[in-house]
Amino acid sequence: MAASNSGVTLVGLGNMGTAIAHAFLKSGRSLTIWNRTSTRPSVTELVVAGASYEPDLAEAISANNIIVFCVLEYQNIYQGLQPLVASGVLKDKVMVNLTNGTPQDAREASVWLKERGVANYFDGGIMVTPQNVGTPVSIVLISGEDEDMLESSGVRGLISSIGLPDYKGEDAGIAAGYDIALLSGMFGMFIGSLTALAMIRKQIDRARKTSGADGTKKAVADVNLTNVVTTYFNPLLTSLIPHNELLAAAIDNNDQDNNHGNPMEMMRIAINNIIRGCEEEGVDAENLRHFAKLTEQVVHLHGPDSGLAWVHSLLLK
Ligand code: FVH
């Protein structure tokens, strides 16, 4: 059977792969799917929605010219393809890999696959959760080959059904570099939030133990982490989001001494207060200790009135 130029094969039907599959079907593509575990509920759900499930990976790859991978990690790709390469099944295929990994992972995958017959390799990162795939907020960072090839191979058109394709460069690793950079911001926020919630848990427990009059008891009993986040924490974080742009602009414009009203010495003391407070209350503050060290270095190198953006230069090795 000749491979289809208009269809697509999708390997990996986890949460993200399933969302991508629905987006492909919605855009009218003929879709062949493969997943290591054929009993995953999403397999049946997608077949009902119009996809063709092919239990044999080699057959699934043979069905179309464009193959999209969205599995847990790069190693899974090699595990799946290694037994098949001798048959020449990868010859002239266009591979789009949306699996999360490092820039080096992406560059190595590009070389490995091309040595085994793949014609074009694009590596991408989807910058939304599965719920937002195919919506206007979805952006797909993509790199590898060149922009003309992105167009002529049909990959830009295909990716458009998942999100806005945003081409970042010819080195296959660039999109993965952007992807993990942005995710580091996300995970940084989560560990900060979880540290905050641990500290607040301690305060709620203390207030419950020490509350006196009935009215106070009731008010204290009603407090939980969710309403603390809604009332105080999310508004605080939301008001701080514009500071990311101020930081980036200070770095872009070589204006790191601009502290935007938050001198480094004040921040150094504040971070150390948080660490001391966590120690007093029995909360792990390890995630903040390195940050505290960086602020000390900035004060030492650039002075107490310098700005947070100087930390950027200390992170570049
Ligand atoms: N979910 C998200 O919010 C993020 C958003 C940004 C991008 N990530 C990355 O997308 C990749 C897939 O993530 P996912 O959410 O689909 O992950 P799972 O739901 O856990 O599904 C994992 C799929 O990978 C298959 N798989 C795992 N190990 C193997 C293997 N050894 N051989 C073949 N396939 C394998 C798994 O198959 P199965 O367990 O059903 O058999 C699922 O299809 C990921 O890189 C994220 O970082 C998602």
Give the pLDDT confidence of 43-84 residue by residue, as tens digits: 999 999 999 999 999 999 999 999 999 999 999 999 999 999
133: in domain: yes
User: Residue 3: what pLDDT?
Assistant: 82
Mean pLDDT of 148-169: 98
**Binning pLDDT at 50, 70 and 90, where does residue 215 land?**
low
116: domain CATH number is: 3.40.50.720
Cβ-count burial of 60 within 10 angstroms (0-12 exposed, 13-18 middle, 19+ buried)? Answer: buried
184: in domain: no
**Binning pLDDT at 50, 70 and 90, where does residue 6 land?**
confident
**Quick one: 162 and 230 in the same domain?**
no
Please name which of 1, 111, 10 lies closest in space to residue 51, comparing C-alpha atoms. 10
What is the distance in A from the centroid of ligand 1 to the CA of 17? 7
Q: Which of 148, 177, 206 is the last residue of a domain?
A: 177
Domain limits for position 59: 4-177
Atom of ligand 1 nearest to the CA of 75: 31
User: Residue 277: what pLDDT?
Assistant: 98
User: Residue 223: what pLDDT?
Assistant: 85
**Quick one: 173 and 230 in the same domain?**
no
**Quick one: 78 and 138 in the same domain?**
yes
40: in domain: yes
**Quick one: 116 and 45 in the same domain?**
yes
Which residues, 6+ apart, have CB-to-CB distance to 113 below 8 Å? 81, 90, 95, 121
**Quick one: 232 and 173 in the same domain?**
no
CB contact burial 141-176 (16+ within 10 A = b; e otherwise):
bbbbbeeebbeebebbebbebbbebbbbeebbbbbb
Q: Which of 146, 177, 208 is the last residue of a domain?
A: 177
Above 80 in pLDDT, residue 220?
no
Atom of ligand 1 nearest to the CA of 101: 45
Above 80 in pLDDT, residue 212?
no
Mean pLDDT of 90-97: 98
Atom of ligand 1 nearest to the CA of 99: 45
- Site to probe by mutation for ligand 1, drawn from 16, 102, 129 as the one with most ligand atoms within 8 Å of Cβ, is 16
189: in domain: no
Mean pLDDT of the chain: 96
Above 80 in pLDDT, residue 213?
no
DSSP string, 150-196: HHHTTHHHHHHTTSEEEEEESSTTHHHHHHHHHHHHHHHHHHHHHHH
At 65, phi and psi to the nearest 5?
Answer: -80, -30
**Binning pLDDT at 50, 70 and 90, where does residue 19 land?**
very high
Q: How many domains does the chain have?
A: 2
**Quick one: 13 and 153 in the same domain?**
yes
- Which residue's alpha carbon is nearest to atom 40 within ligand 1? 37
Above 80 in pLDDT, residue 38?
yes
214: in domain: no
- Tell me which residues have their CB closer than 6 angstroms to ligand 1: 12-17, 35-37, 40, 70-72, 76, 79-80, 99-100, 126, 129-130
Give the pLDDT confidence of 235-284 residue by residue, as tens digits: 999 999 999 999 999 999 999 999 999 999 999 999 999 999 999 999 99
- Which residue's alpha carbon is nearest to atom 8 within ligand 1? 100
- Site to probe by mutation for ligand 1, drawn from 72, 182, 187 as the one with most ligand atoms within 8 Å of Cβ, is 72
266: domain CATH number is: 1.10.1040.10
**Binning pLDDT at 50, 70 and 90, where does residue 302 land?**
very high
